[in-house]
Amino acid sequence: MNSVSDIFGKLVFNDKVMKERLPKDTYKRMHDAIDGGVPLDLEVANIIANAMKDWAIENGATHYSHWFQPMTGITAEKHDSFISPTGDGKVIMEFSGKALIKGESDASSFPSGGIRSTFEARGYTSWDPSSYAFIKNNTLCIPTAFCSYNGEALDKKTPLLRSMEALNKQALRVLRILGDNTTKRVISSVGSEQEYFLIDKDVYNLRKDLIYTGRTLIGSDPPKGQDLDDHFFGTLKPRVLAFMQDLDEELWKLGVYAKTEHNEAAPCQHEIAPIYTEANIAVDHNQITMDVMKTVAGKHNLVCLLHEKPFDGIAGSGKHNNWSLSTDQGENLLEPGKNPIENTTFLVFLIAVIKAVDEYHDLLRMSVAYPGNEHRLGGHEAPPAIISMYLGDELMRILDTIESGEEYIDDFERVMKTKVNVLPDFAKDTTDRNRTSPFAFTGNKFEFRMLGSSISISGPNIVMNAIMAEALEEFADALEGSDNLHEDLMHLLATTITKHKRIIFNGDGYSKEWEEEAIRRGLFNEKSTPGALRSYIDPKNIAMFERQHVFNATEVRARYDIKVENYCKTLNIEANTLIDMINRQIIPAVIEFGAFVAESANAKRALSDSIPVTMEIDLAKDLAVLNTELKHRIDKLAKDVKTAKNISDMEERAAYYREVIFFGMLDVREIADKLETIVAEEYWPIPTYSDILTSV
């Protein structure tokens, strides 16, 4: 591997490159656009575009693309070459400021939730100068926003940028009230831990369910799964290590801050985590990471699975979203400091988070509602479907004293004493780590652990930024113009704690007692995706989005419709895949094995009537009974799928897929998995969990 410092950002048109290649005035105006939101005129854009083109060509690029994030959950790109004819049969390489700033795409071919009809196809891509362009596969990729002809956001970047602006605006108001007159910008910072599975490509190619759905629709438990907890942080296998080394190098070239990698809890499961960065950049980098992971895996004859639950009975994959707030002065607003009780800024922003999460916990739950995540939430490796916050003992004691008005006695032990001479004592964190909490404070940030591994982190961060902006706006409205700021502030914080402390829970989120307690507290507890999605179109939530200028009502409704339709389509694909596998692979294999068993019994009888054939007869009966029941259940599932398709109302259809198709597939799986345990290995037509999980 080359030196990391030499290759890092090699394929990125970053600040260093711009400083070297742009005239000083152009470079300054570029930064005015990035830092201050000042629009770029066409003359400046032409200079930037020409420099970008020259740099890209020098690094092997032949094409450019407006790289955007439509509401499919993945990225999109249309490639155009730099060539321009000269009239003499030759070409020159050109790239204009107009082409840099604006592109056009067929908006009706992407999910729009009814915003665009087939005959209303025009959509625009617009350059986002705050996210650096990069080269991927000899194409200059220019991060852009995507909107309709009428200006509605059709992507995941535009509302994220809006939410960041809303949060910045309200956070600055609060900081000014608290006496901070130097901060010019407040930034939401994100670090997303990405979990994934690596399996052998040859094994993958033999499983239709993995190919079409990303998860195994049938499969019995292997003799050894993660029972011994010996995979987590274990020694990396040579093939996995080679993949990780190549992945790091490719990500570093693209300026992605890949930092930490290790084995996760389940066999074949791993994790990569980056260094924190601005939310918009973090979202772009995570999309790049997922794309590059798949490409690099292929080079090692591996497949990278990003589904939330590829295998039943073992840990699924999440994407822990670490969220914090920082100023352009480098101050983390959620850093408690050595004495949190005296850190007024920290307490104000902490309590604003509590207020935001409590008032809109249904919206946070909605932001992670996705078909794959439905299989994961509530499992032993993931938080429950109930949103709650973990703060730890010290912060809870501080909040209790603020609420009661009593004096805080600081006797928290901040030094971990190892009691071993050779080991040094060290500073303890303000909180422990509660891995059952969906939204836990972990020292100077909040870890939102409910995200599924395959989804874009944009949606949850849009919600978090927007609801935080809403809470801060209410704080600012209450405190601006106060004649006795300290008294009014402490009263505001105390009443806010009293009103919203129901969302705080420091115990075991997996316990039945907590689920019962959460219901008593009035907290949202919706396990199904369709049920959780309805929070999107709750009037109070739409009103909040509109107040913060993140979405208008049309954009919210469009996203809701897209998510509901995606749920129906996903389950329809899964059900049809399962029907195909059972009818064309499993049932014929069982019949073939049953015939072999019958032939074995007949062969014994031919040798001697005294040789017992009880075992063969019993096995043949079990096979026949189970296979008949499997055929009955798969036929019922096929009938139910046809019924679902004929339901015209999308919400009713989604409810039917959840209540009938979802559980119908589980019924089919129950029988198929029983058959797997009694059919001889050489007759079973697809790789088993044992085959897959030991394939690398």
d(CA 369, CA 451): 9
Segment among 280-294, 371-385, 419-433, 549-563 with least mean pLDDT: 419-433
Q: CA–CA separation, 310 vs 375, rounded Å? A: 9
d(CA 252, CA 1): 12
Task: Name the band, by pLDDT with cuts 50, 70 and 90, for residue 255.
Answer: very high
Query: What CA–CA distance (Å, rounded) separates 190 from 460?
Result: 11
Confidence label for 117 from pLDDT (cuts 50, 70 and 90) = low
Rounded Cα distance, 7 and 20, in Å:
17
Beta bridge pairs of residue 144:
127
Task: Give the pLDDT mean for 155-161.
Answer: 95
Task: For residue 437, count CB atoms less than 10 angstroms from its CB and return exposed for 0-12, middle for 13-18, buried for 19 or more.
Answer: buried
* Average pLDDT rounded to a whole number, residues 169-195: 96
Under a CB-based contact definition with an 8 Å cutoff, are residues 613 and 604 in contact?
Answer: yes
CA 272 to chain centre: 13
- H-helix segments, 73-156: 97-101
pLDDT band at 119 (very low <50, low <70, confident <90, very high): low
DSSP string, 379-414: STTS--SS--EE--HHHHHHHHHHHHTPPP------
pLDDT level of residue 118 (50, 70, 90 thresholds): low
Backbone angles phi, psi at 68, to 5 degrees: -135, 175
Q: Name the one residue in this structure whose structure tokens are 């074949």.
A: 268
Backbone angles phi, psi at 525, to 5 degrees: -135, 85
Asked which of 318-327, 336-345, 622-631 is least confident by mean pLDDT, the reply is 336-345
Average pLDDT estimate for 195-217: 98
Cβ neighbors of 274 (< 8 A, separation 6 or more) are 191, 192, 256, 257, 258, 259, 282, 285, 286, 289
Report which DSSP code applies to 23. -
Q: How far apart are CA 596 and CA 122, in angstroms?
A: 61
Is the model's pLDDT at 460 over the cut of 60?
yes
Q: Within 13 A of 625's CA, how many CA atoms are on the CB side?
A: 8
SS3 content of the chain, % helix, strand, coil (to 5): 50, 15, 35
Say what the pLDDT of residue 414 is.
Answer: 55
pTM of the model: 0.93
> pLDDT value at position 122?
75
Nearest-angstrom CA–CA distance, 371 and 452? 10
C-alpha of 127 from chain center = 24
pLDDT (0 to 100) of residue 121: 66
**pLDDT at residue 73, rounded to an integer:** 82
Percentage of the chain with pLDDT > 90? Answer: 73
According to the CATH classification, is domain 567-693 in 1.20.120.1560?
yes
Q: What is the pLDDT of residue 381?
A: 65
Q: Using CA atoms, how far apart are residues 89 and 97, in angstroms rounded to an integer?
A: 25
Confidence band of 229 (pLDDT split at 50, 70, 90): confident
Distances from the Cα of 484 to the Cα of 22, 56, 481, 545, angstroms: 51, 58, 9, 32
DSSP string, 31-59: HHHHHH-PPPPHHHHHHHHHHHHHHHHHT
Q: What are phi and psi of 48, to 5 degrees?
A: -65, -45
Q: Tell me 342's DSSP state.
A: G
Left (φ > 0), alpha (ψ -120 to 50) or beta: where does 649 sit? beta
Over range 406-419, report the average pLDDT: 65
Mean pLDDT of 116-139: 84
**Strand stretches in 223-318, DSSP E:** 258-263, 269-274, 277-278, 302-305
Question: Average pLDDT in the 124-135 region?
Answer: 92
Main-chain dihedrals φ then ψ at residue 552, nearest 5 degrees:
-95, 175
Helices (H) and strands (E) in the chain, counts: 24, 19
What DSSP string describes 411-453?
----EE----TTSPPEEPPSS---TT-SEEE-SSSEEE---BT
pLDDT reading at 418 higher than 60: no
Q: What angle do CA 165, 167, 173 make, to 5 degrees?
A: 105
Spatial distance between the Cα atoms of 233 and 265, rounded to a whole number of angstroms: 8
With H, G, I as helix, E, B as strand and everything else as coil, classify residue 566: helix
Q: Among the listed ranges 165-174, 196-205, 419-428, 476-485, which one has the minimum average pLDDT value?
A: 419-428
The C-alpha R_g of the chain, in whole angstroms, comes to: 28
Please provide the CATH number assigned to the domain covering 4-154: 3.10.20.70
Per the structure block, which two tokens stand in for 4?
Answer: 């990391």
Surface-to-core class of residue 195, CB atoms within 10 Å of its CB (0-12 exposed, 13-18 middle, 19+ buried) = buried
The mean per-residue pLDDT over the stretch 102-108 comes to 76
Give the separation between CA 133 and CA 68, rounded to whole angstroms: 12
Amino acid type, 546: E
pLDDT at residue 408 is higher than 80: no
How many angstroms separate the CA atoms of 149 and 417, rounded? 63
Residue ranges covered by each domain of the chain: 4-154, 163-551, 567-693
The span from the CA of 648 to the CA of 148, in Å, is 26
Range list of H helices, 180-278: 201-204, 208-213, 238-253
Contact 131, 280 (CB under 8 A): yes
Q: Is the pLDDT of residue 462 over 70?
A: yes
DSSP lists the bridge partners of residue 593 as none
CA-CA-CA-CA torsion sign (364, 129, 184, 9): positive
For the stretch 25-81, pLDDT in tens is: 999 988 888 777 777 888 899 999 999 999 999 999 999 999 999 888 889 888 999
Angle between helices 458-479 and 157-177 (to 10 degrees): 30
b (16+ CB within 10 A) / e for 525-563:
bbebbbbbbbbbbeeebbebbeebebbeeebbbbbbbbb
Q: How confident is the model at residue 141 (pLDDT cuts 50, 70, 90)?
A: very high
pLDDT, tens digit, 9 for 90 and up, residues 572-624: 999 999 999 999 999 999 999 999 999 998 888 888 777 888 888 999 999 99
Classify residue 272 by burial, with Cβ atoms within 10 Å: 0-12, 13-18, 19+. Answer: buried
Q: What is the pLDDT of residue 574?
A: 98
The CATH number of 163-551, from 3.50.50.60, 3.30.590.10, 3.40.920.10, 3.40.140.10, is 3.30.590.10
Look at residue 163 and tell me whether its pLDDT is greater than 70: yes
Helix 24-36 × helix 42-58 angle, to 10°: 100
Q: What is the DSSP string of 634-661?
A: HHHHHHHHHHHHT--SHHHHHHHIIIII
CA distance 529 to 658: 8
> Residue 104: beta bridge partners?
124
Predicted confidence band at 115 (pLDDT cuts at 50, 70, 90)? confident
358-402 pLDDT tens trace: 999 999 999 999 999 999 987 656 788 899 999 988 899 999 999
The pLDDT value given to residue 71: 86
- Amino acid, single-letter form, for residue 9: G
* Statement: residue 423 has pLDDT above 60: no
Q: What is the mean pLDDT of the chain?
A: 91
Q: What is the 3-state secondary structure (H, E, C) of 349-383?
A: HHHHHHHHHHHCHHHHHHHCCCCCHHHCCCCCCCC
Question: In this structure, are residues 570 and 217 in contact, taking their beta carbons and an 8 Å threshold?
Answer: no
3-class DSSP assignment, residue 513: helix
